[in-house]
Chain A
Amino acid sequence: MKRFENILGPEGCGSLGHFKRRTLLGAAAGLAWLTPLSRLLAASAEANSSTKRPKSVIVLWMQGGPSQLETFDPHPGKKIGGDVKAIDTPVKGLKLADTMPLTAEVMDQVALLRCVTSKEGDHERATYNMQTGYRPDPTLIHPSIGAILCHELSAEGVEIPRHVSIFPGPFSARGGFLGNKYDAFKMFDPRGQLPDLPRRVPEDRFQARLSDLDVLENSFAQGRRQDLGSEKTLHRDTIRRATTMMTSDQIEAFNIDQVPTEIQNQFGDTPFGRGCLCATQLIETGVRCVQVTLNGWDTHANNHQLQSARAGDLDAAYSATIKLLKEKDLLDETIVLCGGEFGRTPKINPAAGRDHWPHGFSVALAGGGIRRGVFLGETDPEGSKITPETKHAVRVEDIHATIHSALGIDYEKDYQTPIGRPMAVCQGEPIREILADT
């Protein structure tokens, strides 16, 4: 076994420890859709942790810019209101658009920010801004929330990627200056097994192949940049993680086929719904951050019909995610963020569409160290811009500071970029009104 350590590392799939875990758990695997390993890991984490802290994040990413007016911040009867009606929620004074009846029922678990502002109105730039908390900077790439989580929080015992993006869009979550190794693992509809996992040759030949590979990697490293493998190609690390995955029981978390139909139906029979269900399984297994993307919110024309359809997909999946996490007792450890890169204009354009609007839109947070059943502000019923001076106005970077704070990450500390430039984890301030008392 020793000769493979160079390529596999001490925690590689060839390690004795790994085989022991497999042997122990192999017999029990597949008996229930809640993987025994994840339960064991959860129990182990609980036993080891002195203070209970949220440990994971699910980002439900609404690519294109959802309309606040057709989702979380309706203004029916007003000139800007469009065709939606408002419905009650369990939270006093809070009404949602009637496109989201199931979500309305779980708002007592949610902290809703309705006066979020940003300075970016272009999809790519605004997505970057929302996912990293920083505005685009041509000199470096900032890490996304998931990358920071993976960098800061331990994922001991997790044999599958700790940062996952389901239905990745064109601007997927990056490790940025923290390194490509924190980039999200990209996957699509979680039906069936992940492909290419079984090895093609007997174990002894496979191990000999890895040994050959080790010789070639040593050769390639000679005379080249010292950090080439660790910071750029990540080749050895990627092979090590791939071979670990090949023999891990935890890969079952990527597959929702074993989940009872009744539960699958609660998430809606949509790719996004399946993605959200998969996200809960991954979080349960110990994955730090899962981003699930729902596309189709960029409604410059025919706004009402298109937003209603997307809101329908979101409604079932979002409410089911919150409920399932709560049922599994995971909501206290998991922050669920739901939002897009910006909102949409109060004014309806001649094509019955709404355009980009970074001057007041909604972001919903739930779980983890976030207060439940609160909402901050609302956009102007007449359609005026929210400015930083507006009561309850929240900047994008403040949302990041809030999440990091709730996760127990020192959001003010500086990272060093590869060229030695200090860069704070986050520029914003936590939103105290939505942080739960610790």
Chain B
Amino acid sequence: MWLKNIAFIALATLLLASLANWLLLPPKVNAIDRPTIVVSDGIDTARLAINEQFQKVWQDNDLKPAPKADDLTIARRISLGLTGTIPSLEEIRLLENRPAEDRIAWWVNHLLEDRRFGDYMAERLSRAYVGTENGPFLVFRKRRFVTWLSDQLMANRPYDELTRDLIAETGLWTDHPGVNFITATIDQDGTKEPDVARLAGRLTRAFLATRIDCVQCHDDNLGGDLKQSDFHELASFFREAQNSFVGIRDDKGKPYNFKYLYGDEEVTVPAQVPFNQDLLKESGGTLRQRLADWVTHPENKPFARAIVNRVWAVMTGRPLVQPVDNIPLDGSFEEGTYPAGLEPLTDDFIAHGYDLKRMIRLIASTEAFQRDSRADHELTAEHEATWASYPVTRLRPEQVIGSINQASSLHTLNADSHVLTKLVTFGETNDFLKRYGDAGEDEFNMDGGTIPQRLLMMNGNLVKERTKNNFIRNSATRVASLSPNDQVAVETAFLCVLTRRPTEAELEHFVGRLKNKDIKANRSQDLEDVFWALMNCTEFAWNH
């Protein structure tokens, strides 16, 4: 009998040890038996041009830049920017298995092929295209629109083509999801037709980074040249868009009448663009098609600048030009009108067929993106303002919840995750977002955190659920049960939550904490406390 018992204990120990080995040591890496070094795919010239501009700014302002950040810090930025979450422990092990020289380039490519990239970037871009409201009932399908946008991003559809679909597409909102850009503005209580003024405002902000909607009600009263007529003539390009039983179609010849602020009566407003008029085709296609061709004309640079600035902001938390949708129409880096990086990024984007994935690779490869937010010398607000040190920016609510969920799982939560995990995560996400506060369309404001957010993180349900004793789901419990010793437990917890290893001082403190018997808590609760602290610190809630 005792032989049986010993055999059972030995077997169980063996099983547990192999489980621990599987969970805590580098996971099996299927993707790369013999890593192929990722080549630069011809972005070196553009990268050098961008880096030169930043270096000039640092020299001119006598700023010593921060050193390059370590790979895990950069990888965390890239994950947050492209997937809205931090890397999993599994991904960290995978990343660290790569040769150092191509680790970052490989990581970007890896994530660009991950469905999470399409979904997250589509969600962020859709805010500019269709807003954050639910929109009109039935004729606007937000979910369908975002999924379609995600498909386009995954397929790396050229951005000019994608934009032309948004502006000029016809058909039903379900079969031709691009038309939701139009149907999102349908006035269901009034005309039951698309709202040309809202469309003009959206178009200029989202695709041209110009706030022409300021002159919707009156001429520019701030010394600018724009007139109220500029806005409404642009809006007139949408006048033929009609809502019908076959979806959105163009009713050729339909006029747009409007009474200007100081006009005596309504006038028929012609369709005209507010600048670069020479790029507008005189005829051919529908009004919306002509507008779409003008917006995406390679010489109409505000179009490319707008998306460069927005993607930079999504990736880093801060746009190159603030606010993200208000870039001067004319200017240059030399004159000081445009910040470092904007023009070379724009030129490269146009020259390479509006390739979004290339632009993302280029941004991630720049010196500015890879600076540390720490240095041995003094860093100031000016360093951050000029990207001489990486700006510390607050994570968006979706990034916070994505990171909580990921940190509480040792394996990557992605499209392959179990359906139950996804369902639970979806429900918790919605509740958390409601409480934490959605940033809405104004998603790049620089406010600090708030008291309700801190209370939610300290005492709310989600952090409790994701750190409490749950061997199946929570990494805190698994780390508590399976770590061979306290050092490994603390190090694993740090990697899971902060994507780095603890410093010596931190290791000493937390190992001491796990050994402390003054506080009545079991080991699982000890690790719950460690995860709680890691999830409640500045480092977790901010991009850095």
Using CB atoms and an 8 Å cutoff, list the residues of chain A in contact with chain B.
119, 121-122, 125, 161, 170, 174, 180-181, 183, 185-187, 194-202, 204-205, 208-209, 212-213, 215-217, 219-220, 222-229, 231-236, 238-239, 241-243, 245-246, 349-350, 355-356, 418
With A121-B217, A121-B218, A197-B459 given, is the CB distance from A216 to B450 under 8 Å? Answer: no
CB distance from B457 to the nearest CB of A (A): 9
Contact for B503 among A186, A219, A233, A355, CB less than 8 A: A219
A/B interface sample: 24 pairs, CB < 8 A: A180-B447, A185-B450, A185-B451, A186-B437, A196-B452, A197-B459, A204-B519, A205-B529, A209-B529, A209-B533, A212-B510, A215-B510, A216-B534, A217-B538, A225-B379, A225-B383, A225-B384, A233-B541, A235-B541, A242-B451, A242-B455, A242-B458, A349-B259, A355-B261
With A180-B448, A233-B538, A245-B451 given, is the CB distance from A200 to B513 under 8 Å? Answer: no
The reply to whether A224 and B374 contact each other, CB–CB distance below 8 Å, is yes
- Check: B373 CB closer than 8 A to any chain A CB: yes
With A170-B440, A209-B533, A242-B454 given, is the CB distance from A234 to B435 under 8 Å? Answer: no
Residues on A with C-beta less than 8 A from B532 are: 209
Contact for B449 among A204, A225, A235, A356, CB less than 8 A: A235
CA distance A383 to B450 in the complex (A): 45
With A215-B505, A225-B381 given, is the CB distance from A183 to B448 under 8 Å? Answer: yes
CA distance A118 to B294 in the complex (A): 37
- Check: B30 CB closer than 8 A to any chain A CB: no
Residues on B with C-beta less than 8 A from A186 are: 437, 450, 452
- Check: B283 CB closer than 8 A to any chain A CB: no
- Check: B542 CB closer than 8 A to any chain A CB: yes
Q: Which residue of B lies closest to A121 (CB)?
A: B218
Contact for B380 among A174, A208, A223, A225, CB less than 8 A: A225
The reply to whether A204 and B520 contact each other, CB–CB distance below 8 Å, is yes
Residues on B with C-beta less than 8 A from A236 are: 538
The digit string for B461-496, where 1 denotes a CB below 8 A from any CB of A, is 000100000000000000000000000000000000
Counted as pairs of residues, one from A and one from B, with CB atoms less than 8 Å apart, the total is: 160
Q: Which residue of B lies closest to A210 (CB)?
A: B533
CA distance A256 to B179 in the complex (A): 46
Contact for A222 among B374, B448, B451, CB less than 8 A: B374
The reply to whether A224 and B373 contact each other, CB–CB distance below 8 Å, is yes
Residues on B with C-beta less than 8 A from A233 are: 392, 394, 448-449, 538, 541-542
CA distance A183 to B450 in the complex (A): 9
Q: Which residue of A lies closest to B378 (CB)?
A: A226
The digit string for B505-529, where 1 denotes a CB below 8 A from any CB of A, is 1100110010010111100010001
Contact for B447 among A183, A202, A243, CB less than 8 A: A183
Residues on B with C-beta less than 8 A from A195 are: 435, 452, 455-456, 460
Most chain A beta-carbon contacts within 10 A, residue among B449, B456, B521, B534? B449
CA distance A162 to B398 in the complex (A): 29
Residues on B with C-beta less than 8 A from A208 are: 513, 516, 519, 529
The reply to whether B464 and A122 contact each other, CB–CB distance below 8 Å, is no
- Check: B155 CB closer than 8 A to any chain A CB: no
The reply to whether A238 and B505 contact each other, CB–CB distance below 8 Å, is no
Residues on B with C-beta less than 8 A from A231 are: 381
Most chain A beta-carbon contacts within 10 A, residue among B447, B459, B532? B459
CB distance from B182 to the nearest CB of A (A): 22
CB distance from B402 to the nearest CB of A (A): 20
The reply to whether A216 and B394 contact each other, CB–CB distance below 8 Å, is no
CA distance A111 to B416 in the complex (A): 65
Residues on B with C-beta less than 8 A from A212 are: 509-510, 513, 529-530, 533
With A119-B221, A121-B218, A355-B217 given, is the CB distance from A220 to B451 under 8 Å? Answer: no
The reply to whether A223 and B376 contact each other, CB–CB distance below 8 Å, is yes
CA distance A239 to B449 in the complex (A): 10
- Check: B25 CB closer than 8 A to any chain A CB: no
The reply to whether B459 and A161 contact each other, CB–CB distance below 8 Å, is no
CA distance A125 to B373 in the complex (A): 34
- Check: B537 CB closer than 8 A to any chain A CB: yes
The reply to whether A228 and B392 contact each other, CB–CB distance below 8 Å, is yes
Q: Which residue of B lies closest to A300 (CB)?
A: B217
The reply to whether A198 and B459 contact each other, CB–CB distance below 8 Å, is yes
Residues on B with C-beta less than 8 A from A223 are: 374-376, 379
Q: Which residue of A lies closest to B326 (CB)?
A: A138
Query: 9 closest pairs, A vs B, by CB?
Result: A223-B374, A212-B533, A234-B448, A180-B448, A196-B455, A216-B537, A235-B538, A242-B454, A196-B459
Residues on A with C-beta less than 8 A from B266 are: 350
Q: Which residue of B lies closest to A418 (CB)?
A: B381
Residues on B with C-beta less than 8 A from A209 are: 529, 532-533, 536
CB distance from A156 to the nearest CB of B (A): 19
CA distance A208 to B532 in the complex (A): 11
Contact for A205 among B383, B437, B456, B525, CB less than 8 A: B525
Residues on A with C-beta less than 8 A from B450 are: 183, 185-186, 238
CB distance from A160 to the nearest CB of B (A): 9
4 other A-B residue contacts (CB within 8 Å) besides A220-B537, A222-B374, A232-B392: A208-B516, A213-B536, A235-B448, A235-B449
Using CB atoms and an 8 Å cutoff, list the residues of chain B in contact with chain A.
214, 217-218, 221, 259, 261, 266, 373-376, 378-381, 383-384, 389, 392, 394, 435, 437, 440, 442, 446-456, 458-460, 464, 503, 505-506, 509-510, 513, 516, 518-521, 525, 529-530, 532-534, 536-539, 541-542, 544
CA distance A180 to B393 in the complex (A): 14
With A183-B448, A350-B259 given, is the CB distance from A213 to B374 under 8 Å? Answer: no
Contact for A219 among B380, B458, B505, CB less than 8 A: B505
CA distance A234 to B450 in the complex (A): 9
The reply to whether A215 and B506 contact each other, CB–CB distance below 8 Å, is yes
CB distance from A15 to the nearest CB of B (A): 18
The reply to whether A196 and B456 contact each other, CB–CB distance below 8 Å, is yes
Q: Which residue of A lies closest to B467 (CB)?
A: A200
Most chain B beta-carbon contacts within 10 A, residue among A213, A227, A242? A242
Contact for A122 among B214, B376, B537, B538, CB less than 8 A: B214
Q: Which residue of B lies closest to A135 (CB)?
A: B222
CA distance A56 to B539 in the complex (A): 36
CA distance A180 to B458 in the complex (A): 21
Q: Which residue of B lies closest to A199 (CB)?
A: B459
CA distance A377 to B402 in the complex (A): 57
Residues on A with C-beta less than 8 A from B381 are: 225, 227, 231, 418
Q: Which residue of B lies closest to A234 (CB)?
A: B448
Residues on A with C-beta less than 8 A from B373 are: 224
Contact for B538 among A119, A199, A200, A229, CB less than 8 A: A229
CB distance from A248 to the nearest CB of B (A): 12
Residues on A with C-beta less than 8 A from B451 are: 161, 185, 238, 241-242, 245
CA distance A195 to B532 in the complex (A): 19
Residues on B with C-beta less than 8 A from A198 are: 459
Residues on B with C-beta less than 8 A from A232 are: 392, 446, 448
CB distance from A269 to the nearest CB of B (A): 24
The reply to whether B449 and A170 contact each other, CB–CB distance below 8 Å, is no
CB distance from B526 to the nearest CB of A (A): 9
Residues on B with C-beta less than 8 A from A204 are: 518-520
The reply to whether A213 and B442 contact each other, CB–CB distance below 8 Å, is no
CA distance A202 to B520 in the complex (A): 9
Most chain B beta-carbon contacts within 10 A, residue among A220, A349, A418? A220
Residues on B with C-beta less than 8 A from A355 are: 217, 261
CA distance A209 to B454 in the complex (A): 14
CA distance A126 to B249 in the complex (A): 38
Contact for B460 among A187, A196, A225, A350, CB less than 8 A: A196
CA distance A233 to B450 in the complex (A): 10
The reply to whether A238 and B506 contact each other, CB–CB distance below 8 Å, is no
Residues on A with C-beta less than 8 A from B518 are: 204
Residues on A with C-beta less than 8 A from B214 are: 122, 125
The reply to whether B458 and A196 contact each other, CB–CB distance below 8 Å, is yes
The reply to whether B380 and A181 contact each other, CB–CB distance below 8 Å, is no
Residues on A with C-beta less than 8 A from B529 are: 201, 205, 208-209, 212
Residues on A with C-beta less than 8 A from B539 are: 216, 219-220
